[in-house]
Structure 1
Amino acid sequence: MLLFAGMFLIFNSATIRRQSPASDGTVFAGLIEDVSAGQTVVDKLVYEADGANAKVVGYRNGISGTLKIPSTVTLTGEQSARSVVKIGESAFYGCSGLQVVIIPDSVTVIDSMAFYECQSLTTVYMLGQNVALNGYSDDMYPFFCNADDEYWNSGDLVNGGYLIYVTSAGYSNYTSQNASDMWQEYNSKNVIKQIDPSGLLVQRVDDTGAFGPFEEYCRIVGYAGSTTSLTIPSTITLDGTPCEVLEIGREAFKGVSLNSVTIPGCVQTINGGAFDGCGLTSVTLNEGLIGVGGSAFKGNNFTTITIPSTVSAIGNWAFVGCNSLTSVYFKGGVDLLDYGEFADDPGFFKVNEYDGEFRSGVSSSTVGIYVPEDYLSDYISVAEGYDGRSWGLYTDLLKGYDPSSNSGENTGVVADIVLPSFMVIVLIGAIVIVAKRRKIAY
């Protein structure tokens, strides 16, 4: 994922970094450097009270890629959460790294210039059914505009380079003759689209020029559906064009209640935290997957994992907090484990990150990491080489099995999760996987 970090903002206040004044003297804010009294910062967003509710008034440095605005926030000094109902004037002005924003259904008002000068922003998900856009005489557009009230590229805007996705229930509110002038202006540019019936929120990604002329693909960035047994499609149609799903974005489903998920083999990457805390009891990942990010399946409820042959990396603590997990199956050779000092800890049978402790009751008689019996001695040898850290912690849990039967030593258990086999790679703060079609960083 390409992260844009440039923030061409001018320091003009002890409290807020500000843009230069507009021709009419208006001073734009956005990036808040020092929080003022009455402001609360949560996950790089700055909030203030808005009556009995709350509003987003700015952001802290470091926002990039996909941003999910939460529906509630607890303000400093308060015990109860407030609903987030508004995105304030110029709240994200100049947030140049922002590519996708997901606005929850709690938000009913977006003030003028809320996303001005967000040069990388191409996709907006509006989950509310009737969101009002405020502006000065309806000419200070919130999205896809620069400081001169001009669209970045009107041709791209008309041709689908920038899109606002809304729910099917709210579509007519944004596109009918009864819609506000500002919504009608966006509709005239043909940028208002309906969210895919699956409820999947996606981003069209174009890697052209990164490592070669790659074709476009889809990254799933969120979920607004109601199905708890989810099968992710291999392609999603965006604006009439089929788009292959190759990636599940960082924290895309985090906290979403799901029973099961099936992910097709075209998906090459599951980024960090993608299914964190979903309560999953069954996950099917198919051959073709290349990487699983850190904390990707943290805190779920499945009992068994089988790891087939195509994954090349699994991130730190990818399975930590999966307290029902008892059996892990690998189908690959030991070379996938042998990555020296860069070996990560996938967190099997562990409750918390960083403490390195197995959950109570874990022993070779209660859990197992099953590897192809032809490679068992090699696995043990490599694991012992970690000298009690990373994979060395799992040495006593390694057992042999026959991959063709997919049943573990003395278990006969059928796996709930199917993953391909891996070599573990650690980079400070991130795992970078070079896929056969593009570079993936997470």
Structure 2
Amino acid sequence: MAFHICTNLESINVDVNNNIYSSIDGVLFNKEQDKIIFFPDNRFDSYEIPDSVTSIGDMAFYGCDNLTNIIIPDSVTSIGNGAFYGCYNLTNIIIPDSVTSIENYAFSGCANFTSITIPDSVTSIGESAFSACFILTSITIPDSVTSISDETFSKCYKLTDIIIPNSVTSIGNMAFYACVNLTNITIPNSVTSIGFSAFRSCKRLANITISNSVTSIRGETFFLVLH
């Protein structure tokens, strides 16, 4: 977080003789340029990540309010912790099929997301990965995902419907907390546990189907489901 909240920073330039870091067009990378480390806050409204990149580092685009569009190449396999946290104006993103992991808080606070498709290559989605995506109305979870982590979709106020695939075995604490417009949920036979406050404050949830496989429902799971 060395340069975070430097809201007027437009460019970082690294000496060519530096053995640890490098830069491309003012953006900070590791020396090998296969990992993007930091994108200056006061940068372009649109950015295409170079094809050399295989990982997006932790908090690489954290709080980049000017960013409205990002292109992630097929070379990227992982999206780090808080990579796009608080990119409030980011409206369009395509996660390529090469990505296998989306880490904690990766897209948390991307308040202008309306829909997102998680590719079949993804096997793990971290805690709060899509929390506080306030106007997100649609999300597709692939069969490759085995668990929904704590607070993954919490405070997605506009989310109305979601299909949990048969591959999922656990739903974490507060996973769908305060998804106030969620009206329908089917929990598949693969799920064995539902976490604390998983559907708390889902005030419009009118229909819940819980399968025979569920052996554990934690406290306040459906607290304040008022429909």
TM-score band, normalised by shorter chain: 0.5 to 0.7
Alpha-carbon RMSD across the aligned residues, in angstroms, is 4.0
Any unmatched runs of 5+ in structure 1? 1-66, 72-103, 107-126, 132-142, 145-156, 171-194, 205-216, 235-243, 370-378, 397-442
Contact 1:326–1:349, Cα closer than 8 Å, also in 2 = no
Give the deviation of 1:167 after TM superposition: 4.2
* 1:162 to 2:2 alignment: no
Larger % of helix: which? Answer: 1
- Supply the distance in 2 between the matched residues of 1:284 and 1:68 (Cα, whole angstroms): 32
Aligned equivalent of 1:348, options 163, 166, 176: 176
Matched-pair identity in %:
20
CA deviations on 1:141-198 (whole Å, 9 max, x unpaired) are: xx99xxxxxxxxxxxx84x742242645x9xxxxxxxxxxxxxxxxxxxxxxxx7982
Contact 2:55–2:77, Cα closer than 8 Å, also in 1 = yes
Give, as a single letter, the amino acid of the residue that structure 2 aligns with 1:228. Answer: T
Aligned equivalent of 2:163, options 329, 332, 346: 329
Give the deviation of 1:261 after TM superposition: 1.6
Which of 1 and 2 has higher RCO (CA within 8 Å, sep 6+)?
Answer: 2
- Please list, as runs of the form range in 1=range in 2, the aligned pairs for 1:22-421 lying within 5 A after superposition: 67=1, 69-71=3-5, 104=6, 106=8, 127-129=9-11, 158=17, 161-165=19-23, 167-168=25-26, 198=47, 200=49, 217-221=54-58, 222-223=60-61, 226=66, 228-234=68-74, 244-257=75-88, 258-279=90-111, 280-300=113-133, 301-333=135-167, 336-337=168-169, 344-345=172-173, 347-348=175-176, 350=178, 357-364=200-207, 380-383=211-214, 385-389=215-219, 393=222
**TM-score with structure 2 setting the length:** 0.64
Q: 1:226 to 1:233 in 2, by over 3 A?
A: farther
CA deviations on 1:118-159 (whole Å, 9 max, x unpaired) are: xxxxxxxxx44489xxxxxxxxxxx99xxxxxxxxxxxx84x
- Supply the distance in 1 between the matched residues of 2:176 and 2:126 (Cα, whole angstroms): 14
Provide the aligned length of Structure 1 versus Structure 2: 187
**TM-score with structure 1 setting the length:** 0.36
- Supply the distance in 2 between the matched residues of 1:273 and 1:305 (Cα, whole angstroms): 16
The structure having more radius of gyration, on CA atoms, is 1
Any unmatched runs of 5+ in structure 2? 28-38, 181-194
